Amino acid sequence: MHPTHDTITPPLPTHPPNRLLYRSDRNYDEAIKCYKNALRQDKENLQILRDLAQLQVQMRDMAGFVETRYSLLQLKPANRAHWIAFAVAHHLEKNYEVAVQVLDAYANTLESVPPEEVYGYSEMLLYKATVLQEAGMYDRALEHLAKSEVRLRGGRLFWVCFGFCCLGFVVWVSVGFCLGLWGLFGYGIVLFCLLLFLLCFLMIDC
């Protein structure tokens, strides 16, 4: 007996998940709700977590971004990118001290830095200095740069020192101009900055 049209069950149409539709329509609030609902069914879905984290950054939901990045770090603790992203999340949330602690915790997990990751590790050290600087911890930032000098690669420390020289030059010239002392101290300031620039150049193997 051949099946009739009445006995054949038509296949159900397949539709993309609502979260993708909302996201394509730029309805990010609803998309985030759908992503969170999807995570209730599959808490360890890396793709959903990554997409959710991206949406949370777009919507400036930094508290949610921190939570999502922490979930990703728990699932893949050996992945350097998850450590850095978790630190960035706290940085954006202005939890500067926690961001520094996360970077230090990752550094402590490394017995040695593989040759292929030397440059990335160098970038992380400079990022830590940036976080300390934004937190107003200038002494700690300078101390960190001094301790990390050997590990920094690509002449980046040279440019960091050059930036500090330029900043010092601008500050001192501004003070001299406001006090009307440019004629007396101007050339001395320029000479000081040039000597400091030369010192940085000689100390660093570019």
Give the SS3 label for residue 44.
Answer: coil
Whether 99 contacts 131, CB under 8 Å: yes
Instruction: Indicate the pTM of the whole model.
Output: 0.65
Give the residue extent of every domain in the chain.
154-206
pLDDT of 106 strictly over 80: yes
pLDDT of 194 strictly over 80: no
pLDDT at 93: 93
Q: Which residue in this structure is represented by tokens 């593989």? A: 114
pLDDT at 16: 47
Mean pLDDT, rounded, for 148-172: 59
DSSP 99: H
Cα-Cα end-to-end distance for the chain: 84
Question: How much is the mean pLDDT over the chain?
Answer: 76
102: left (phi over 0), alpha (psi -120 to 50) or beta: alpha
Q: What angle do CA 30, 51, 63 make, to 5 degrees?
A: 75
Q: Which residue in this structure is represented by tokens 């193997």? A: 205
DSSP 117: G
Phi then psi for residue 122, to 5 deg, are: -60, -40
